[in-house]
Amino acid sequence: MEEIFKTLLSIILILLLAFTGVGLITVSVSVANAKSFQEEIVTEIEDSNFSNTVMSACSTEAANQGYELEFKNKVLDDYGNMTSCEVILKYKYNIPVFGMNNKEHTLRAFAR
């Protein structure tokens, strides 16, 4: 009888560890995807010389992928052209094992 209890306890602990591991790996992939997307956005904005058309297209693309994109702290030169801005990407992820559902996180970068 004692062996059955130890075996069941071992199986439960292994399953808990497996679900936790899968949850953490999923979160890690979500964060990596968000960082990669933000780097692409920053590069695209810099390459377009801060074009408003490109910035709005990037916001639309972010919304399509489930992200929220903001541009803040815009710096203008003497001629009114934008020279830098802060790119803020908000994303959500879930870890059901720990009860973390749709937690919003923020990535910040600067386009110069």
Residue 9, domain extent: 2-111
- SS3 for the chain is CHHHHHHHHHHHHHHHHHHHHHHHHHHHHHHHHHHHHHHHHHHHHHHCCCCHHHHHHHHHHHHHCCCEEEEEEEEECCCCCEEEEEEEEEEEEEEHHHCEEEEEEEEEEEEC
Q: What is the pLDDT of residues 28-82, one digit of tens each?
A: 898 999 999 999 999 999 999 888 899 999 999 999 999 999 998 888 888 888 8
Q: How many domains does the chain have?
A: 1
Q: What is the pLDDT of residues 8-21, one digit of tens each?
A: 999 999 998 998 88
